[in-house]
Amino acid sequence: MKEYLVSKSYTFNKDFISIIDELPLWAAPFGLKLLEKLKIGRNLKVLDIGSGTGFPLLEIAQRLGETSVIYGIDPWLDVLNRAQLKIANYRIKNAAVISGYAEELPFSKSYFDVIVSNNGINNVEDLNKTISECRRVSKKGAQFLFTMNLDKSMMEFYNVLKDELEKESDSISLDRLEKHIYEKRRPLSEIKMILNENHFEVKEVIEDKFYLRFADATTMFNHSFIKYWFLDNWKKIAPVRNTELIFDRVKSRLNSLAEEQGELKLSIPFAVINCTKL
Ligand SMILES: C[S@@+](CC[C@H](N)C(=O)[O-])C[C@H]1O[C@@H](n2cnc3c(N)ncnc32)[C@H](O)[C@@H]1O
């Protein structure tokens, strides 16, 4: 019997169940838009930068099918192992993950037809080097499609934190705050400039926004997503001697805001950037 017609009931073991979530909730709004714009075809060589636990890598592998091949690159070994477990359990034959950095892509010149990245490009150390590497490994006419959250992300929180630091006249922490935002969320105009310098024509930029909604700031600070992915870096902005005081003030102001508004909303503006290699 053809492989796709064989019953898959045997796959519902412990490993399989442990990998059922295919797309992290945070990544979904960006990722769904990216998939809408992805070039679909046959015989494509595709690269996913910062492929994490396997999104959009594995979705793209399955949508394009076995005439195409997709590589995911990420320096984080534990997430690569999880992606590998998914590849094995889903028996995906046209995807592979590689441990490495976007700044030094282990591929030859003009290799890829498509390069994608869902919230990966904005997390690299050196954006200029990464985009220049994307230029080197992409073919003429290749699609370079990536998403990133924008500099006004979570501004409801950052504005209050900034205000509290200003009240303390703490210029060092204020500088750290600006640097923190700039490093992860470079202005769109700057990204476009780097793309142009690297022979990528920006065909389309789709801007969108979603909200993370919480009952109040106490709830927000205790949410696992905030606690494990954001709070440590936020804490490093405020001065060590005053961290608790500043954060207590921020929390209390955001709680008052939530009281007035009936909820605390953090906005996440993001962009899908669709380019062609000239
Ligand atoms: C926000 S996660 C996105 C993961 C996945 N693409 C998704 O949509 O869920 C960013 C990923 O970029 C990876 N990353 C960080 N620095 C990188 C670099 N220099 N080169 C490649 N990937 C990098 C991280 O390890 C992480 O897995």
> Exposed, middle or buried: residue 80 (CB in 10 Å: 0-12, 13-18, 19+)?
buried
The reply to whether ligand 1 has any atom less than 6 angstroms from the CB of 126 is: no
- Based on DSSP, count helices (H) and strands (E) in the chain, helices before strands: 12, 7
> Which residues touch 109 (CB under 8 Å, ≥6 apart)?
136, 137
Q: Is 1-149 CATH 3.40.50.150?
A: yes
Query: Range(s) for CATH 3.40.50.150 in the chain?
Result: 1-149
Report the atom number in ligand 1 closest to the C-alpha of 51. 6
The reply to whether ligand 1 has any atom less than 6 angstroms from the CB of 129 is: no
Tell me how far CA of residue 205 lies from CA of 36, 124, 179, 249, in angstroms.
Answer: 13, 21, 25, 38
The reply to whether ligand 1 has any atom less than 6 angstroms from the CB of 52 is: yes
Tell me how far CA of residue 173 lies from CA of 33, 135, 248, in angstroms.
Answer: 35, 36, 16
The reply to whether ligand 1 has any atom less than 6 angstroms from the CB of 12 is: no
- 109, HSE (Cβ side, Cα atoms, 13 Å): 0
Tell me how far CA of residue 255 lies from CA of 85, 106, 236, 271, 273, in angstroms.
Answer: 42, 48, 22, 29, 35
What does pTM read for this prediction? 0.95
The residue whose CB lies within 8 Å of the most ligand 1 atoms, and thus the one to mutate among 34, 123, 130, 185, is 123
- CB neighbourhood size of 233 (10 A): 11
Distance 258 CA to ligand 1 centre (A): 32
Which pLDDT tens digits describe the chain residue by residue (278 residues)?
777 777 666 667 778 778 778 888 999 999 999 999 999 999 999 999 999 999 999 999 999 999 999 999 999 999 999 999 999 989 999 999 999 999 999 999 999 999 999 999 999 999 999 999 999 999 999 999 999 999 999 999 999 999 999 998 889 999 999 999 998 899 999 999 999 999 999 999 999 999 999 999 999 999 999 999 999 999 999 887 889 999 999 999 999 999 999 999 999 999 999 999 99
The reply to whether ligand 1 has any atom less than 6 angstroms from the CB of 157 is: no
Distance 260 CA to ligand 1 centre (A): 37
